[in-house]
Amino acid sequence: MGYHAERVRYSPIVKRPPVRWPNGARVAVWVAPNIEHTEYLPPPNEYMDPWPRTPHPDIREYGFHDYGNRVAFWRLLKVLDRHGIRATVSLNVGVLDLFPEITQAMVERNWDYMLHGIFNTRYLYGATAEEERAFYQDCIATVQKHTGKTPKGMLGPAITGTIRTPDLMAEAGLIYHADWIHDDQPVPLEVSGGRKLISIPYSYELNDGPLLKSNIDGVEWAQMCKDQFDRLYREGERTGMVMPFSIHPFRIAQAARIDYFESVLEHIRRHDDVWLTTGDEIAQYYLDNYYDEAVAHLAEMARYTSRRRHAG
């Protein structure tokens, strides 16, 4: 089928069949720490220059990310352990080779792994179909080798991709894509070959990367997260919603900020009817219980729209 001009058919959330999470949960909450590594001297890419603030090496950006793996990851780990959070790592898979201590800590906690490229300085822009196929094979094999798990989803490396990315993801056996940020529920993505792929909610609006890099401070970020959860919790009485936490240890787990993140977890855990889970589990539950119903609903909406157009 090749490239789809419309990967995602429009579906107003108020018209969809309701989604019910396990045990009647109103909100599925998943925490996605971005465990990344940036290269001291990244390879050239004609489409995008990593960290173009300065000619390479960019010591400031390299050191900032290195702090995340030396110090901030371990600070974040203690908070997640304290609250019983099993994370979904948005993973630069090169971390598994470079930092065996981090790998061991994640494996011991049975975390799930969402592909996020090899390093944060290598992109899919400009990749041929065969290069992109090889990329998925390499990333999946690396995760399997080091963790014993098979990744189910991807956040594109530095949110990059090609026109073929959803098709090739599904071909490689992945079931969810986090790049789309267009909904508060999982929704089907149209791909070739009769395969199934969904998008699941991720967030740039609450992402500590861009927000804490701007003029937003920790207090305001934490309040935004609580406000987001409170609204989704109210709306979740009618149909199940998803609350993603898109975080980076080198930002939110700075000593001056980590308490704000913990205050958000404390706020969420004071509520009943919350499913603290992983991206993998959300995607699989939706595929098993709601995907076919959603596809049928989208097809009926398309027929209705077509009838209205012809009638007009």
**pLDDT over 50 (residue 80):** yes
Q: Which residues contact 115 (CB under 8 A, 6 or more apart)?
A: 91, 93, 136, 139, 140, 143, 151, 153, 154, 155, 174
Confidence category of residue 2, pLDDT binned at 50, 70, 90: very low
Sequence length of the chain is 312
pLDDT at 261: 97
What's the rounded mean pLDDT across residues 204-222?
87
pLDDT tens string 114-150: 999 999 899 999 999 999 999 999 999 999 999 999 9
Confidence category of residue 1, pLDDT binned at 50, 70, 90: very low
Containing 270, the helix (H) or strand (E) segment is none
Task: Give the integer Cα–Cα distance in Å for 116 and 91.
Answer: 5
Task: Give the integer Cα–Cα distance in Å for 104 and 172.
Answer: 26
Q: Which residues contact 217 (CB under 8 A, 6 or more apart)?
A: none
pLDDT at 312: 63
């990310």: which residue's tokens? 65
Task: Give the integer Cα–Cα distance in Å for 117 and 135.
Answer: 8
Identify the CA nearest to 184 among candidates 199, 198, 201: 201
User: Six-digit token pair at 22?
Assistant: 């396990």
